[in-house]
Amino acid sequence: MKNQKSIELLHQDYLKTLINKKRWIRFYQLVIFLLFFSSWELASQKDWIDQLIFSSPSKIWNLFIQKMNDGSLAMNVGVTLTETVVGFILGTFLGTLLAAILWWSPLLSDILDPYLVILNAMPKVALGPILIVALGPGFTSIIAMGAIISIIITTIVVYTSFKEVDPNYVTVLKTFGATRVQCFREAILPASFPTIISTLKVNVGLSWVGVIVGEFLVSAKGLGYMIIYGFQVFNFTLVMLSLLLIAVLATIMYQAVDLLEKKLIKNG
Amino acid sequence: MDFLTINHIHHTYFTKSSATTALSDITLDVQEGEFISFLGPSGCGKTTLLSIVAGLIKPTEGKVELENRPIGDGDNKIGYMLQQDYLFPWKTIEENITLGLKMNQVLNDKTRSEALSLLHQMGLKGVESKLPRHLSGGMRQRVALVRTLATEPKLLMLDEPFSALDYQTKLKLEDLVSNTLKQFGKTAILVTHDIGEAIAMSDRIFLFSPQPGRLHKTFTIPEELRNLTPFKARNHRRFAELFQMIWKELEQLEEPEKY
Ligand SMILES: Nc1ncnc2c1ncn2[C@@H]1O[C@H](COP(=O)(O)OP(=O)(O)OP(=O)(O)O)[C@@H](O)[C@H]1O
Ligand SMILES: [Mg+2]
C-alpha cells in the first residue's frame, strides 16, 4: 500500500515537471515574439531602419484595421484562401489518383517513368503564363497553379509508398480470392495512409507558392495581388501586411492538417 | 478419386543473379479428409510447394489439381496460413479474422459470430477490439489461424502454425485443430519442423530432402495412432518408435551439410 502511494506521488511530481517545462517553453516563445515586434517598432521610430521599406508594426496594424473596415481585406483573404485550399485538395487528390493508376499498371509506370522525372524536375511556376492563356486570367488558372505544383511530387511519393507495401499482405488477401480492387482498398491504400498524410503537409506549403505566384501573374485579386500592387506603388506597409497574413493563414492550414493526421493515425 | 493431386512439379526461382531450383519432380496425392504433414530441413521447398498448391506462384513445370480441376479455377476453396502471421496492423482483431469472409462477400452476423466463437475456443477472449501490436507473438499466430479457419476452406494448408506457441498451448491447439478438422471432414496439409507434431497429428508424413527439394520418403501413421487425439498419441508406445525412425532419416539428410 505504502509503496503504491509513493509511486503515485512520484508520478504526480513527474507530471508537474512536464507541465513546468512546457510553461517555460511557451514563455520563451512569447518573449521572442514580443522582442521581435517591439524592436522592429523601436528601430522604425528611431529611424535605425528605413521606414519606407520596412514599415513598422503600428503602421501595419493601422492599415489592417482600415482595410478590415472597408471590406477589401476580407475579400482578398477569402479569394486567396479558397484558391489555396481547392488547389491543395485537387493536387493531393489527383496525385494520389495518378499513383493508383501507376500501381494498377506496372507497365504504364515503367513507360511513364522518365516523363515523371522530367515533369518533377521542371519548375512548375514557369508554366504560369501558359496556364493563364489557356484557362483565362482568373480563378481557374490560379487554382490550377496551386494544384499542378504538387501533383507530380505527390504522385511520385505516394506511388513509391504503394510499391513498398509488404507484398505478403496482398498475398494474404489473394489466398482469400481477393480481386485487385480489393487488394488495393484493403492493403495498399491503408498501408500508405501515413505517407499520404505526410505529403499533405508538404502540399500545404507548395499550394501557397503556386497560388501566390499565380496571383502575381494575374494581378487582379488576393494577397498575392496585394503584394504586387504594394510593390508597384511603393507601399511596403501593404506588402508587409500581406506577408504577415500569409504566414498566419499558412500556419493555421498546416496545423489543421497536423490535427487531421493525429485523428487519422489514432483511428488507424 | 484423389482429392488433391500434385503432378511432377518442378520449380526454379529466377533472379537477376541466380536461378535456384527449389523443387524437383514432386508427385503426391492427398485423399479427402486426410491430414498430411510436410517435414524437412530448412530450405527444402515446403513453403514453395504450398504457394504452388495455393495458386500463388506458377510452377515452372507440372500441374496441381483439386477435385480434378486445375487450381485457381475460382470456386476452389483453399485456406492458406502463411509462415508469418501478417495480421493487418491497422485492423482490429475482429476485422482481421473476418477479412476472408469479407473478401468472399459472405460476412454476416452468423459468420461473424462463428469466427468470434472460434477465437474464444483458441483461448483468446476480450481481444476483439485490440490491434495486433497489442498481442504477443503466440496470440497473433492463433488469430492468423482463426482468420484462415473462418472461411471454412475445403483444403487447409498451415505453414508452421504453432511455431511461436509455448509447449502447453501448442499441445492444446493441436487437439483443437485436429478435432475441428476431423469433425468436419476437412483435408489439411501441415508444414512443421517438429517430428512429434507431425506424428501426432497426421495420417501420412512426407519427408523432403533439400537442394533441390525432393520427396525423400513417405511414412504412413499406423491406425492405432491416427484414431487418438494428438495429445494421447504422443503417449502411445508406437509414437516413440516412429519418432526414432524419422529422426534417423532426418539426421541422414542433414549430415552432408555438416562437412
Ligand atoms: N522468392 C524467392 N526468390 C528466390 N529464391 C527463393 C524464393 N523463395 C524461396 N527461395 C529459395 O527456394 C528454396 C526453398 O525455399 P522455401 O521457402 O520453400 O523453403 P522451406 O522449406 O519453406 O524452408 P523453411 O523451413 O526455412 O521455411 C530456398 O533455397 C530459398 O532460398
Ligand atoms: Mg517455409
User: pTM value?
Assistant: 0.81
Those residues with Cβ within 8 angstroms of residue A153's Cβ, 6 or more apart along the chain or in another chain: A95, A120, A199, A202, A206
Q: Which residue is closest in CA terms to ligand 1's atom 16? A: B45
Nearest residue CA, atom 9 of ligand 1?
Answer: B48
Residues A67 and A39 in one domain: no
**Domain residue ranges in chain B:** 1-75+155-259, 78-153
**Predicted ipTM of the assembly:** 0.83
- Name the minimum distance, in Å, from the CA of A43 to any CA of chain B: 55
pLDDT at A1: 56
How high is the pLDDT of residue A96? 92
How far does the centroid of ligand 2 lie from the alpha carbon of residue B161, in Å?
11
- Residue B43 near ligand 1, beta carbon < 6 Å: yes
Residue A40 in this model has a pLDDT that exceeds 80? yes
Local structure of B222: helix, strand or coil: coil
Strands in B155-159's sheet, in edge-to-edge order, are B78-81, B155-159, B187-192, B35-39, B204-209, B214-220
The helix/strand/coil state of B158 is strand
Task: Determine whether the interchain pair A187/B88 forms a contact, defined as Cβ–Cβ distance below 8 Å.
Answer: yes
Pick the residue from chain A with its C-alpha nearest to B83: A168
Q: Are residues A163 and A69 in the same domain?
A: yes
Q: What is the rounded average pLDDT of the residues A76-83?
A: 93
**What are the φ/ψ torsions at residue A60 (nearest 5 degrees)?**
-60, -40
Grid cell 471590406 is found at A71
Confidence (pLDDT) at B257: 53
Q: Is the pLDDT of residue A57 over 80?
A: yes
Q: Omega before B212 cis (within 30°)?
A: yes
Task: Specify whether the CB–CB gap between A139 and A208 falls below 8 A.
Answer: no
Identify the residue with better confidence: B147 or B123: B147
Specify the pLDDT at position A147: 92
Residues A24 and A110 in one domain: no
One domain, residues A159 and A36: no
- A223: which 3 cell numbers? 494577397
Cβ <8 Å between A176 and B99? yes
Residue A110, pLDDT above cutoff 50: yes
pLDDT for A183-236, tens place per residue? 999 999 999 988 888 888 889 999 999 999 999 988 888 999 999 999 999 999
For residues A123 and A208, give the distance between their C-alpha atoms in angstroms, rounded to a whole number: 15
**B45, B41, B37, B49: which is closest to B250 by C-alpha?**
B41
**Closest to B29 measured CA to CA, from B46, B49, B6:** B6
Q: Are residues A69 and A197 in the same domain?
A: yes
Nearest CA to ligand 1 atom 7: B13
Nearest-atom index, ligand 1, CA of B46: 21
- pLDDT for B45 equals 85
Q: Are residues A106 and A26 in the same domain?
A: no
| Minimal CA separation from A87 to chain B, in Å | 30
As given in the structure block, the three cell numbers for residue A143 are 487554382
**Contact predicate A146/A87, CB 8 Å:** yes
Q: Which residue has the cell 524437383?
A: B24
Q: For residue range A144-170, what is the model confidence (pLDDT) as tens digits?
A: 999 999 899 999 999 999 999 999 999
pLDDT for the residue numbered A2:
59
Is the beta carbon of B15 within 6 A of some atom in ligand 1? yes
Pair A110, A195 in one domain: yes
Contact by Cβ (8 Å): B230, B62? no
Residues A165 and A233 occupy one common structural domain: yes
For the stretch B109-146, pLDDT in tens is 888 888 898 888 888 888 888 888 888 888 888 898 88
- For residue B259, pLDDT over 50 is answered with no
Answer yes or no: do A88 and A27 share one domain.
no
Top-confidence range, B24-33, B70-79, B228-237: B24-33
Helix (H, G, I), strand (E, B) or coil at B210: coil
Q: Dig out the grid coordinates for B126 from the structure.
A: 476480450
Domain range spanning residue A24? 2-49
Q: Which of A98-112, B57-71, B107-121 has the highest mean pLDDT?
A: A98-112
Residue A153 · residue A95 · CB < 8 Å: yes
In this structure, are A122 and A237 located in the same domain?
yes
- Say how many Å lie between the CA of residue B40 and the centre of ligand 2: 10
A81 and A172 within one domain:
yes
Nearest to B103 among A166, A178, A190 (CB): A178
Q: Is the CB of B48 under 6 A from ligand 1?
A: yes
H helix intervals, chain B: 46-53, 93-97, 99-103, 109-121, 137-149, 167-183, 195-201, 223-226, 230-233, 237-258
Q: Do B86 and A171 touch (CB under 8 A)?
A: yes
DSSP annotation of B134 reads G
pLDDT band at A43 (very low <50, low <70, confident <90, very high): very high
Q: From B16, B48, B56, give the residue whose CB has the most ligand 1 atoms within 8 Å, as the site to mutate.
A: B48
Cα–Cα distance, A127 to A148 (Å, whole number):
9
Any idea which ligand is nearest the CA of B193?
A: 1
pLDDT tens digits, residue range B76-94? Answer: 588 888 888 899 998 999 9
pLDDT the model gives residue B82: 87
* Residues B29-51, mean pLDDT to the nearest whole number: 88
B234-242 average pLDDT score: 79
Whether ligand 1 lies within 6 angstroms of the CB of B210 is answered as no
In angstroms, rounded to a whole number, what is the distance separating the alpha carbons of residues A147 and A211?
9
Work out the percent of chain B whose per-residue pLDDT is above 90: 6
What CATH code would you report for B1-75+155-259?
Answer: 3.40.50.300
Let me know whether A67 and A162 are in one domain: yes
The residue type found at A17 is T
Cell numbers 495429445 label which residue?
B231
Count how many domains chain A has.
Answer: 2
SS3 label, residue A62: helix
A16 confidence band (pLDDT: 50, 70, 90): very high
A136: left (phi over 0), alpha (psi -120 to 50) or beta: left
| Minimum distance, in Å, between the CA of residue A120 and any CA atom of chain B | 30
